[in-house]
Amino acid sequence: MMDPKFIIAKRVAKELKNGQLVNLGIGIPTLVVDYIPKDIKVLFQSENGIIGMSPLPEEGLEHPDLTNAGANYVGAIPGAACFDSALSFGIIRGGHLDLTVLGGLQVDEEGHLANWMVPGKMIPGMGGAMDLVTGAKRVIVAMTHTTKGEPKIVKRCTLPLTSIRRVDLIVTEMAVIEPSKEGLILKEISPEVTLEDVLKSTEASLIISKDLKVMEV
């Protein structure tokens, strides 16, 4: 089986639509860039202040003033634009960002995401995540289905929420799940696992879609 993170990134890449403005979070979301279909052109925004970010064209071309939100050196496409953090988060909070893909620690039955702290253990801070989840037109959570065998899709988040906005899609290596008013709708299952496997690895109740599909990766 492929490394889960590549399966997730590959599946998320299919969600991108031509012409979208997209912000990819650190970790698995960053990998999405490698799987974008050839016929799809998107613009990448990074919250540290750029639209038109691209991968570093080659080693040796690093510029100390051009990085992504994880401080990794990147490139820029012709026609890129830079701006300060106030405009950058204005773009995010103001609904001008079409899609954000973020990592997650937990998502619950209401579609609420928790991804910024584990009280008493790990407190990285929310960075731009709270603004991204609150403001982006579409939010996809890209995360492994479980961590150390523990389900990450839970009845109710035990970790502090990132936002009370319902995320739009959860993509794991096992399944694609769409949070809705009625609850979490299981839309796709990986060809590598059974429905039973998914249900066992999920604490939250899942509504099985009438149109349940095999996850294409």
Partner 1 sequence: MRLLNVEEAIKMIPDGAIVMIGGFLGVGSPNTLIDEIIKQKRSNLTIIANDTAFPDKGVGKIIVNKLAKKVIVSHIGTNPETQKQMIERFLEVELVPQGTLVEKIRAGGLGLGGILTPTGVGTIIAEGKQIMNIEGKDYMLELPLKADFAIIKAKRSDCNGNLVYSLTARNFNPIMATAASTVIAEVEEILPVGTISPDEVHTPGIFIDYIVKSR
| Nearest distance in Å: CB 196, partner 1 | 35
Q: Quick count: other Cβ atoms within 10 Å of Cβ 90? A: 14
When asked if residue 161 is in the footprint of partner 1 (CB under 8 A), the reply is: yes
Which residues, at least 6 apart from 134, have a Cβ–Cβ distance to it below 8 Å?
93, 163, 165
Which residues, 53 to 72, sit near partner 1 by CB under 8 A? 63-67, 69-71
DSSP β-ladder status, 50-54 and 75-82? antiparallel
When asked if residue 27 is in the footprint of partner 1 (CB under 8 A), the reply is: no
- Rounded distance between C-alpha atoms, residue 4 and residue 78, angstroms: 33
Residue 47 annotated as catalytic: yes
Region from 89-97, 143-151, 168-176, 198-206 binding partner 1, contact rule CB under 8 A: 89-97
Print the binding letters for residues 163-202 with partner 1: x by CB under 8 A, - otherwise.
Answer: xx--------------------------------------
- Among 3, 84, 150, 216, interactor with partner 1 by CB under 8 A: 84
- Among 7, 32, 130, 184, interactor with partner 1 by CB under 8 A: 130
- Among 52, 55, 151, 183, interactor with partner 1 by CB under 8 A: 52
Burial class (CB in 10 A: 0-12, 13-18, 19+), 16: buried
Provide the token pair at 144. Answer: 């492994």
> Among residues 47, 109, 110, 188, which one is catalytic?
47
- Rounded distance between C-alpha atoms, residue 10 and residue 127, angstroms: 25
| Nearest distance in Å: CB 132, partner 1 | 9
| Nearest distance in Å: CB 82, partner 1 | 4
In the three-class reduction of DSSP (H, G, I as helix; E, B as strand; rest coil), residue 65 is classed as coil
- Rounded distance between C-alpha atoms, residue 85 and residue 176, angstroms: 33
- Rounded distance between C-alpha atoms, residue 44 and residue 54, angstroms: 7
Q: Whose Cβ is closer to partner 1: residue 6's or residue 73's? A: 73
Region from 1-9, 31-39, 41-49, 172-180 binding partner 1, contact rule CB under 8 A: 41-49
- Rounded distance between C-alpha atoms, residue 148 and residue 171, angstroms: 18
Judged by the rule CB under 8 A, the positions of this chain that interact with partner 1 are 21, 43, 45-52, 63-67, 69-71, 76, 78-96, 122-131, 134-135, 160-164
The set of catalytic residues is 47
